[in-house]
Amino acid sequence: MMAPLELAQRPDPRTWREDYLFSIAIRSWLVHLGVVILTYAILVTERQPSWLNAWLALMLAGSAYLGLLSLRYPNRQEPAPERARQFSALHSIVIAGVGLCWGLGAVGVALDLPDRLGLYAIVVGGTALGAVSSQHALLRSCLLAVWMSLPGLALAFVLYAPDLRGAAMGLMILLYGAMLTTLARRMHRFLASNVALLAVLEEKVVALEAAQRDADQANAAKSRLLAQASHDLRQPVHAIGLLVESLRHDETDAERQEIIRRIDHALGGLGRLFQSLLDVATLDLGRIKPAPAPVMLMPLLEDAARQVEELARENAVAIRLVRTSLCVQADADLLQTMLQNLLSNAVKYAPGGSVLVGCRRRRGGACIEIHDNGLGIPAEFHEKIFEEFFRLQPGGRGKIEGLGLGLSIVRRLATLMDIEVSVISQPDRGALFRLAGLPLAKKAAAMAPARPPEPRNPLEGFSVMVVDDDAAVREGMAALLQRWGCRVDARSVPPDEPAEFDLLIIDQMLGGEATGIEAVERLAEAGRAFSAAIITGAIVPELEDRAKALGVPVLMKPVRPGQLHSLLLTADGRRRHRARPALAAEA
């Protein structure tokens, strides 16, 4: 039978019968040729009949011609239905002749070599079965092969034994032919249904491929839209945050300070929503690749607590950290994102309460536990809280802010980092969130010695170049930096040549084709040592890789004043470090 692989090669509905038949015909007829020669050798005796050589010649000619047809059959890669039908017609004609030779040979054996009739009957029965096996795709040829040979064999037995026994043998041979006919028809129908199924599957595959292309295009369009919308939505929020921080320093009226505080609170919530959406979009794009390294857990916990301290203050929640000296092998940035989301969740659901964070050794690894004495979680929701956009809203206690994305981000990052995240909780008895399975590592390098006391305003005289095409953002940042004592050069386009500044703060999307990362790369090629930071509100897949290669941080809008201040202090520290060798050389 034909190999399954050959059937799977998109059969042509017009020529699949011929394609199937001729794909194995050359092998079938080589076998047939061997059977003919062996049969002739068995029939040759001292009283060799005159017709035996003619029978051999016809059989050899028929086998050779059918093999030649198979070799010259049109290539399936270039379908030729008309030629295929011509070949199938010739095949049927020659098959009829070969079958007739087998049948007439049986009659001759019965008359001239009766002692060989039993053996000849086995050969004819086998060739009839072989015809069904190899030719059922072309049912016409298959039936011709069966019914041109078996009636002659039945007649031979009647001639060999002209009595009831001979008639019974002849009838059994004809019944055998009927059974082979039924088998051939069933095999033909099965093959035809397979071909039809393949055609349907082919249509489905084509439809699925088209749907996949449409989905990929839609996903790419969604990513572009998300990137642009993220930038356009974050830009005004970023500008408002900078202006609010400037107002905070100017305003002394208590009532207006309260209004400013509320605006800042609203902006903080909006910023957290943007960050959650950005994290989900980044995970969907598959851009996050963990980079494990030794990480001391205590500094990571302290930083995560600082990030949520404003939210904790608004909810009157006390956060307590249990000191630890454990060091783990993990991606510090991803682990910090998980901790911030877990802490934010604990603070929101434990208003007026407390949150305890600690670490312990567990099952050969490290485990981080976050306990709160808040509202608790019913058992039926222990898994649902990790689903996207699912939020528990406790009745009578006010609405919980957020989109319900924080815990889903934690679960997805945990899966990415092969960390186990779980929750133990009961209503009104708080909750315990656990990050388990963190592999232990050797302690990171020893901490740097304590810095000498900084002057009262370390940023006094620190020069910053701000590049942003949005006037509101540019002016708001310039005003804030000047209040911190910085010298500010605010521009809408980056400088063509290296300018004098200690830190370059540049927006990624500068209008038109210009981008912040290209400007930083261009200035870096000029060979001048400087610190820079790129601020963006869009998801740009290659931005992080290019910025990392330059050692430039990327900040997502809206940038909080605390983040900006930390950035300035870090850049000032680098500036002082670079200045030491120069001073030493001068001395």
* pLDDT one-digit tens code per residue, 107-128: 999 999 988 999 999 999 999 9
Domain 288-439 CATH assignment equals 3.40.50.1980: no
Query: What is the pLDDT confidence band of residue 186, given thresholds at 50, 70 and 90?
Result: very high
Query: What is the pLDDT confidence band of residue 1, given thresholds at 50, 70 and 90?
Result: very low
Domain 463-586 CATH assignment equals 3.10.20.600: no
Q: What is the pLDDT of residue 401?
A: 60
Q: How far is CA 378 from the centre of its chain?
A: 34
| 72 burial level (CB within 10 Å; 0-12, 13-18, 19+) | exposed
pTM for the full predicted model = 0.48
pLDDT exceeds 50 at position 453: no
Helices (H) and strands (E) in the chain, counts: 17, 12
Supply the mean pLDDT for the chain. 80
Rounded Cα distance, 33 and 316, in Å:
96
Q: What is the pLDDT of residue 268?
A: 65
Assigned token pair, 71: 């070799």
pLDDT exceeds 50 at position 569: yes
Cβ atoms of residues 144 and 95 within 8 Å: yes
pLDDT exceeds 90 at position 25: no
Stretch 383-405: mean pLDDT: 67
Considering the chain, tell me which residue range(s) the CATH 3.40.50.2300 domain(s) occupy: 463-586
At a CB cut-off of 8 Å and minimum separation 6, what does 366 contact?
Answer: 297, 326, 328, 359, 360, 438, 439, 440
Q: How is 548-575 classified by DSSP, letter by letter?
A: HHHT--EEESSPPHHHHHHHHHHHHHHH
pLDDT exceeds 50 at position 237: yes
Considering the chain, tell me which residue range(s) the CATH 3.30.565.10 domain(s) occupy: 288-439
DSSP alpha helix (H) spans, 251-362: 254-284, 297-307, 309-314, 332-348
